[in-house]
Structure 1
Amino acid sequence: MQKIGLYLPNHLGDAVVASSLISWCAKSKLKPALIAKQYLKPLFHKDPRISTFIPVNQNYTGIVKTIRDLNKLNLTVCLVMPKSFFSAWLVWKAKVRRRAGYSLDYRKYFLNDIIPMYEYHHQPLRQFYFNLAYPYLPGSPPPYPDLFIPPADINSFSLNSDSVEQSADRIGIDPGAAYGKSKSWPDQRWIDLIKNLEKKYKVVLVGIRDLSEWEKNFSSVINLSGKTSLNELPYLLRNLKLFISGDTGSMHLAAALKVDTISLFGSSSPVWTSPWGKGRHIIIYKNLSCSPCFKKTCPKGDMKCMNSITIEEVISKVDQLLQSKI
């Protein structure tokens, strides 16, 4: 039986989507080794469907340890999902026999199962990763992501218990966007939206961006932005009735946990990175001639793709989803 490694992408949302390959391996009675950035370990290392979690740290000591640990596994094949030169070099240096990945830059010298690079944004992100797996995994890929979330010891969390309890009208909001300003809705729009929503719903702010400066604008919002670890975030998200954000990693995590989402897209493509999961997902996207541009800052300087999205539109979609569930 082949011993397979899954080298996950570096960003949270991409890694969540790519982790669907774990359940595909499980269907084939394979327990893959997971190779990923250290910060992703809390999300995956307790999954009983994997054989081990190998953290990737890009300092000299960490690289040497990762290579040594990978070499000991004697993997038959590794699916290298990051597009970086480093990821291809790493599995080659660890002497993995079959190294599958996309050709980009000089990666082809370190991979021996190469898929030609192409205009990949015209397909769902998951398909980009499935293409690597088809030669090695029988059957068809899973219809949805299937994250393993172990029972939680709530007492060990920094969150208070009220933050992770289920509520019939609780909305989570993440106004951040790690990639750049072109994916962000204006701050004042977010603030005005939250002020409107807290009149009818319980609102929780999450994300890596610290929004403590916003608290003076609200009366009852629970602000957990900048305070929630990746170990705690799944338990918070899965008890929401709705999650609102831009194209963020937390959006992908919420969707994978079967939470309904409303996503605001501008410079990125809803075809490529739309939320994927069993819940109901509404995407607000203006489909302008200049969008998606995939730029960190708006080339035109007017951010029309995001500024054209109104507060009223978002509130209408919130009511559409929540009024049918409460």
Structure 2
Amino acid sequence: MNRLLVRVPNWLGDLVMSLESLSGLASRHPRTTFWAHRRVAGLLPVFFPGVPLIAAPDRPGRGEYDSLLLLTDSFRSALEGFTAGIPVRMGHSTQMRRPLLTRTLRPLKGRGHHHSLDYARLCRLADEEPSSVPAPSAEPSGSPHIAVFAGAAFGPAKRWGGFAEVSSVLSNELGIPAVFYGRPSEAGLLSSLAADVPGSVVKTDLDLPALCSELLSAVEALGNDSGGIHLAAALGVPSVAVFGSTSPEWTAPRGRLTASVAPEMECSPCFRRACSSVPAPCLASVKPETVLEACRALLGRASEVS
């Protein structure tokens, strides 16, 4: 039976967008192993508790696998698969990797499609189809709250400045606190925002399984186009994403209850990490009232389907 190794995306948002493809691969290959960067490896047992996992920088042993599917585009990941002696090596023909791979796929041009399609096409390169994502194995923890993801590792051109105002209004209307989630490096930014939201809390020390458990208790999530809002949406939390330099056409959160707010400006999306103007005009054009309206409308939809 084919021993398949899947190198999963390195960033949380990308990993979440690949979950359907990973589900299709794991459900049809009983001897699948996932190979993940340590910063995202903790999410995989939440959705795929029975699938073996290698956490990079650990590498596969030589001769342990029959085939490798790369959902990453780096030269390094292809080289590591090649040096592991894996006979069948599949992935995008980018970054001068073609000589290292035995089966290649030319990636789609541009960003006029949803990024999850890129992973679906790679899944099909391995002769499989994406399938529905299993229910998370995490149990809810904490109390009802509004989850806020005001950071973005990509850069300041993705960080909207109105989350304190919107979450303060929602917190008051719903009678529940706002919780600002993020990475330890974002603690200062999140604390400054939370200071303007009565009763709010900042949490930057959660691993991914703990974050999933907390999010399962959230009434609604709002945030920038970042890994956290993608995760919340995948967990079934009504989620509103605010876009700046990136595009909902490319990376809108996917889930049964999601909404995206994007600027209507010629310069957006530019996909730049930072803008020469501070704040970025695209982000400044998104008004708190617009985001608040989207949040209220999504909560209304959630109440209709619950």
* TM-score, normalised by the number of residues in structure 2: 0.89
| Counterpart code for 1:307 | A
Structure 2 unaligned blocks of 5 or more: none
For 1:198, the equivalent position in structure 2 comes to: 171
Q: Which amino acid aligns with 2:98?
A: K
Tell me how far apart the structure 2 counterparts of residues 149 and 174 of structure 1 sit (CA, whole Å): 23
CA–CA distance in 2 between the matches of 1:88 and 1:26?
21
Are positions 1:132 and 2:122 aligned together?
yes
Structure 1: distance between partners of 2:69 and 2:125: 11
- The verdict on how the C-alpha distance between 1:4 and 1:120 changes in structure 2, with shifts beyond 3 A counting, is farther
Alpha-carbon separation, structure 2, partners of 1:116 and 1:135? 11
| 8 A Cα contact 2:49 2:137, kept in partner | no
2:268 to 268, 281, 291: 291
Q: What is the CA–CA distance in structure 1 between the aligned matches of 2:294 and 2:120, rounded to whole Å?
A: 32
Cα deviation code 1:146-178 (max 9, x no counterpart) = 3642457xxxxxxxxxxx3353xx311110011
Tell me the residue number matched to 1:28.
28
CA contact (8 A) 2:69 2:126 kept: no
Residue of 257, 275, 280 corresponding to 1:280? 257
Aligned residue number for residue 248 of structure 2: 270
Partner of 2:198: 219
2:130 corresponds to 1:141: yes
- Does the C-alpha gap of structure 1 residues 218 and 255 become closer, same or farther in structure 2, counting only changes over 3 Å? closer
CA shift for structure 1 position 270: 0.9
SS at match of 2:265: coil
- 1:71 is matched with 62
- Name the counterpart of 2:100: 110
Contact map agreement 2:152 2:159 (CA 8 A) in 1: yes
CA–CA separation in structure 2 for the residues paired with 1:53 and 1:281: 30
1:44-68 residue CA offsets vs partner (Å, 9 max, x unmatched): 2463441x211112xxxx5xxx1xx
Q: Secondary structure at the match of 1:217?
A: coil
Q: Is the 8 A contact 1:19 1:145 kept in 2?
A: yes
Alignment of 1:74-93 (within 5 A): 75-93=65-83
Residue 198 of structure 1, CA deviation? 2.4
Q: Which residue of 1 aligns with 2:155?
A: 180
The answer to whether the Cα contact below 8 Å between 2:180 and 2:194 also exists between their aligned partners in 1 is no
Match of 2:206 in 1: 228
State how far apart, in whole Å, the 1-side matches of 2:49 and 2:205 are.
Answer: 28
| CA distances 1:198-253 after superposition (whole Å, capped 9, x unpaired) | 212321111112122344323211222x2222231001112212110010001111
Q: Give the letter for the 2:243 counterpart.
A: F
Mapped to 2, the partners of 1:294 and 1:262 lie a distance apart of 20
Using the size of structure 1 for normalisation, the TM-score is 0.83
Work out the CA distance in 1 between the residues paired with 2:97 and 2:31. Answer: 27
Deviation of 1:35 after TM superposition, in Å, equals 0.4
Aligned to 2:298, the other structure's residue is in SS state: helix
Structure 1 residues 56 and 265: CA distance shift in structure 2, 3 A: same
SS of the aligned residue for 1:200 comes to: helix
CA distance in 2, matches of 1:293, 1:133: 29
Q: Secondary structure at the match of 2:152?
A: coil
> By how many angstroms is 1:324 displaced?
5.1
Deviation at 1:97, TM superposition (A): 1.1
Q: Which amino acid aligns with 1:146?
A: P
Confirm whether residue 261 of structure 1 aligns to residue 239 of structure 2: yes
Residue 196 (structure 1) shift: 2.1
Residue of structure 2 equivalent to 1:157: none
* 8 A Cα contact 1:149 1:234, kept in partner: no
Identify which of 265, 277, 286 aligns with 1:309.
Answer: 286
> Matched residues in 2 for 1:70 and 1:275: separation?
35
Report % sequence identity.
24
SS of match in other structure, 2:270: coil
**1:99-120: per-residue Cα shift (whole Å, max 9, x none)?**
1111222211211211123414
